[in-house]
Chains A and B, each alone.
Chain A
């Protein structure tokens, strides 16, 4: 694959504690190497530019059935919003909040990202998820099957069968080529099948007679029993409702006293996603207020938790989640079109367009809360940048979020553009926060931190010798004066991107479809005849497909698999 020398850039690498030093990065055979190990490298001049590892997105809805429902039922999301015409890539780039698979890959690459974790995979539809992953160029993907409303999981946890639940979890990860345990509105989506919901962690799930608290705790235990790379990854109950921050804190507390059991270097046992949607005070939309301080006080003092932002970007977007009852709630609020799906024994979902308008007080408060979470973080290695794409906004806004995090001036400009500026300031903390993040902290929130939390710090997130050679070069000189908009411009349009040593972007143009991989976790457990009998029985009795047609197998779905082996047989 040849050798590369990326010379003289300002390097930001939290993994090695490098804070903008002028350094050279060596690459050989797809890995980072000591520059002294190179013999005749091709040289890339990065003088005056910022050099970081490839970005890592811990939570983004980019592939699969609900994303595709979004594409299909929103033709207007493509209208006049697909302006990019690249002279070098000819696959169809269209869509704004729900872009085509090709645009997804290209746009992530343009921001210098190399890994995206698909946030919710309905197990029954995992073949579709993998087909779309396959058709998303450049970036590596993993996908998290959803467990929090799965009948097997609910029954094993109700009966306190920890080992059986772990064996089923391992089986489902293998069958779906999944990466981690995702939990969405635990019990609530199953309750939605009865037209109900679980808004608090002790609300019983109908029929199954188990609570969200038991589901979350049980799945943390299964996760640590198996020793998976990533932790249990939860979207808690009561998303998006005024006063929900107490439910969030109650959910956080379920992790107390549990220590990680993983050989993959993570320190957390719970990743709570898009916390912005879960940090609301008040008891109605009229008096909703930020509880980001209370949330971050807890996160800052408990190091077995990581979170991501779910930052509202003030765009017209498409919400989509396995939280079926929430999407119904949303369509009742905004009267826009609604899609709803039930996925047999496993989960459900909903999709509704949404406009986060700067003229609406609540949207502006949501914008503040997301930024507060990041700016109140004591440890940026545990608080990650996301928009819960596309729920709070499209991922292409990450560079704009960087601008807001790095520049108080940029935040003030946005405050001035709000129609209800004074009321928004009154309901939030952001106006009183002076902190401006630096590029080192941004690299923690977008690279080193999420890579570590995913258990993938041995591959992504840093520039130490031995790691995959994912290197992004941006037209940004941190030592020269700059305007806030320069940040957004530079980090939205990488000068160069190398992925596992292959140059994917050259002088701002996508020049290669890269060497994309699909990561999945093969967790080996002791043979468990009971679980296999349960699986066969449920497929015979309830599923609309046979077991033989369920598992994702074959080259067709995963042309470039990267298997992470986990041994839980002892």
Chain B
């Protein structure tokens, strides 16, 4: 695997839209060709090299390409957008849309990410060592086709509206989350190892939510069914199983309605 290292040298006056920072766009290119890739500030087009020091070279294919991005990237959007393979390591905080619509490969962020990380994700791994903003692994605004595959792991906390319209894949949050979890979900799995606030599973049709800590307010559309002993992401425990959202339509299998499932740990 070949490695390309980007180090930010000029901060953009506004925000930098850098959806060209992907193994797919870099593959087969030398440093000077990578520096010539387009990035946008507002409606103005610039070169990636106007903002970043570029060293190393890419592999022949995305699979053989690793990108390391260094510095304060809190004004850089769309890192790893739509990537299909390879690896991106971000050493710093990144702005919105990290790994949005990603299909494969792995992104590791050694810092925090702002909103919309993993939006519409289809596959691959997105590892966030710090905190995530709002709309983690959610659908794009207005769309009903949210995350369908892949895995997002956040070591810290996540903001509100995670997994909106989730249809598949997995989101694991090590810390706490804000309001609105798996709204409108029709599949997928969300694990919250810390505490949750309220509105978990609103209009949820199918899918699973696991909460290890507290839930401030349970949705009235969820009904307690029974306690179950299960193992979640390597942790064994007894969980209270709730089903919902009872106000939504639900498909049936062998005459039985299938509900969204919300598990809350009652004892370790």
Contact = CB atoms under 8 A, between A and B. Distances in A.
Instruction: Bin chain B's interface residue count.
Output: under 10
A74 B142 contact: yes
A76 B249 contact: no
B141 A335 contact: no
Interface in A323-346: 335-337
Q: Label chain A's interface by main secondary structure.
A: loop
A76 B101 CA distance: 13
Interface in A74-108: 74-77, 79
A336 B141 CA distance: 14
A335 B30 CA distance: 48
A336 B144 CA distance: 8
A99 B142 CA distance: 16
Contact of A79 (B143, B144, B249): B143
A502 to B, nearest CB: 28
Nearest to B139: A76
Nearest to A72: B142
A76 to B, nearest CB: 4
Q: Label chain B's interface by main secondary structure.
A: loop
A298 interface: no
B250 to A, nearest CB: 11
Contacts of B249: 335
Contacts of A335: 249
Nearest to A74: B142
Interface in B130-175: 140-144
Interface string B228-252: 0000000000000000000001000
B38 to A, nearest CB: 12
Most buried by B among A76, A77, A336: A76
A543 interface: no
Interface string A56-83: 0000000000000000011111010000
A88 to B, nearest CB: 16
Nearest to B141: A75
Interface in A299-352: 335-337
A337 B183 CA distance: 14
Interface string B60-95: 000000000000000000000000000000000000
A317 B252 CA distance: 29
Nearest to B248: A335
B207 to A, nearest CB: 15
A73 B142 CA distance: 6
A79 B120 CA distance: 12
A74 B142 CA distance: 6
Given A75-B142, A79-B140, 10 more contacts: A73-B142, A74-B142, A75-B143, A76-B140, A76-B141, A76-B142, A77-B142, A335-B249, A336-B144, A337-B144
7 A-B pairs closest in CB distance:
A76-B143, A75-B142, A76-B142, A75-B141, A76-B140, A74-B142, A79-B140
